[in-house]
Amino acid sequence: MNKRWLELSVGAMMVAGIAALVALALQVSGGSMSRNVGHYPVSALFENAAGLGPKAKVTMAGVTIGEVVAVGIDPDTLMAEVRMQIYGQINYLSIDSSASILTAGLLGEKYVGITAGAEDDLLGAGDVIEDTQSALILEELIGQFLINLGDK
Amino acid sequence: MLSFVVSCIANLGAVFLHKLVQMGQALLMLLQAIMVQPKASSFARLIQQLYVVGVQSLIIILVSALFIGMVLGLQGFTLLSAYGSEQAVGQMVALTLVRELAPVVAALLFAGRAGSALTAEIGLMKATEQLASLEMFGIDPLHRIVAPRFWAGIISLPILVAIFSLVGIYGGHLVAVEWLGVYSGSYWGNMQQAVDFNEDVLNGMLKALVFAFLISWIALYQGYSCLPTSQGISAATTRTVVYSSLAILGFDFILTALMFGGAV
């Protein structure tokens, strides 16, 4: 076998492999590696955080601006404490922003939606969002509906 | 009765010790083969082996990737359209391929296509005493024969897996978008949202690297240690395919559990 042809075909395979990896990075994963641009921690206390877990999205106006890091119980208030990381470039959330737990679609994943407030003071690292709205729990809703139905 | 039990336990111990000795030999063979200063001429031999192990496996990898991607697209579409969410087919195809199917199927094909050939080749070299004559010339067959084949396997399989993933995703695109009419934007868009380069693509590549190591090691050791007869070579080739496949599937579970499970 011709030595040149051998080297050429091996080189072509290498190039194809690297090109495939680049295509996987850009086309398939959408170049989503560039998201470690720094972030700051924020937490919020919810009455009920059912279905929310680490890596859930934090969005504002439907745009992802961070992710949930941990969900735990706050020992003082016995409420669910949701700790989040907000991307560093989103540094204009006011201190009276509100957070609610939303569902994508009827059966979809839970995520946190932030609605901006009106204050001039900004939300900084370690601040707590006070104004929260809990997860919608379908079973409780149906339960209340049945009780209301029974009262009539 | 007691002596029967004792002899059973003794046999068990003998089998275990035998396997342990084999594993030790395999490890020593590998270490001796790769712990060496590469010479200029070893690069040419590596290219030669990359051609045999890698380039010649391309056809089977491309064809199976295309068909597996197309089947995933078809099955995913049928399943997901029952829930009215057939836009998610891109995400399903890409995650299945990148995380699991591409590394595992490519590795299984690689074990059958390249691993068995390596074992048979080295086994025949041993049977025809080519390895022994190399030693007579003062050339270490581990460096000359085993090392370039080992490195060729390690380099080839990750490349083949990357190609497999991409071709499979385009195969899914062919069926889901071109044939069944899923909107192309949601095929790629959902996929790009769901697939993370570090977490999914690079972990898949890491799997490929582990599988490449396992296959090359098993294939080379089986060839190097086989009985130098025609039955011995045939048995060693069979063992290469069986052991490699079992090792791939077993390690795949462990790696998946480490990478994607247990994040609680």
Least-confidence region, from A33-37, A82-86, A93-97, B216-220: A33-37
Residue A100 host element (H or E): strand A98-103
Place of tokens 């994943």: A109
**A94 and A45: one domain?**
yes
- Residue A106: pLDDT band with limits 50, 70, 90: low
The radius of gyration of chain A from alpha carbons, rounded to an integer in Å, stands at 23
Q: Do A95 and A122 meet the contact criterion of CB atoms below 8 Å apart? A: yes
Half-sphere exposure of B49 (CA within 13 A, CB side): 27
Q: Would the pLDDT of A37 be above 70?
A: no
Of all residues in chain A, the percent with pLDDT exceeding 90 is 6
In a domain, A121, yes or no: yes
Whether complex ipTM tops 0.95: no
Domain range annotation of chain B: 43-253
Residue A33: per-residue pLDDT:
47
In a domain, A112, yes or no: yes
**A52 and A100: one domain?**
yes
**A110 and A70: one domain?**
yes
Residue A6: per-residue pLDDT:
86
Mean pLDDT on A44-57: 82
Q: How confident is the prediction for chain A on average, in pLDDT?
A: 83
A26 vs A36: which has the higher pLDDT: A26
In a domain, A149, yes or no: no
For chain B, list residues with pLDDT below 70: 262-264
Q: Which residues of chain A does B165 touch, with a Cβ-Cβ cutoff of 8 Å?
A: 20, 24, 28
Chain-chain contact of B51 with A9 (C-beta, under 8 angstroms): yes
**A30 and A47: one domain?**
no
Q: Do B103 and B252 meet the contact criterion of CB atoms below 8 Å apart? A: yes
Residue A129: per-residue pLDDT:
86
Place of tokens 């890491």: B206
Residue A31: per-residue pLDDT:
60
Of B48, B58, B201, the CB nearest to A13: B58
Of B55, B98, B197, the CB nearest to A32: B197
**A114 and A43: one domain?**
yes
User: Measured between CB atoms, does A21 come within 8 Å of chain B?
Assistant: yes
Nearest Cα to Cα of residue B68 among B26, B109, B33, B117: B109
Q: Which residues of chain A does B51 touch, with a Cβ-Cβ cutoff of 8 Å?
A: 6, 9-10
**A19 and A75: one domain?**
no
How close, in Å, is residue A26 to chain B by CA atoms?
9
Distances in whole angstroms, Cα of residue A26 to Cα of each of A31, A135, B197: 5, 35, 9
CA distance B207 to B158: 9
In a domain, A57, yes or no: yes
CA distance A76 to A92: 29
Nearest Cα to Cα of residue B223 among B211, B210, B234, B212: B234
In a domain, A150, yes or no: no
In a domain, A5, yes or no: yes
Chain-chain contact of B163 with A9 (C-beta, under 8 angstroms): no
**A95 and A58: one domain?**
yes
Total domains, chain A: 2
Of B55, B162, B195, the CB nearest to A20: B162
**A64 and A116: one domain?**
yes
**A22 and A50: one domain?**
no
**A29 and A93: one domain?**
no
Strand partners, A94: A122
Of B55, B160, B169, the CB nearest to A10: B55
**A77 and A46: one domain?**
yes
Residue A36: per-residue pLDDT:
55
CA distance B210 to B207: 5
How close, in Å, is residue A97 to chain B by CA atoms?
26
In a domain, A152, yes or no: no
**A63 and A82: one domain?**
yes
How close, in Å, is residue B4 to chain A by CA atoms?
57
In a domain, A147, yes or no: no
DSSP three-state, residue A76? coil
What is the extent of the structural domain holding A13? 1-34
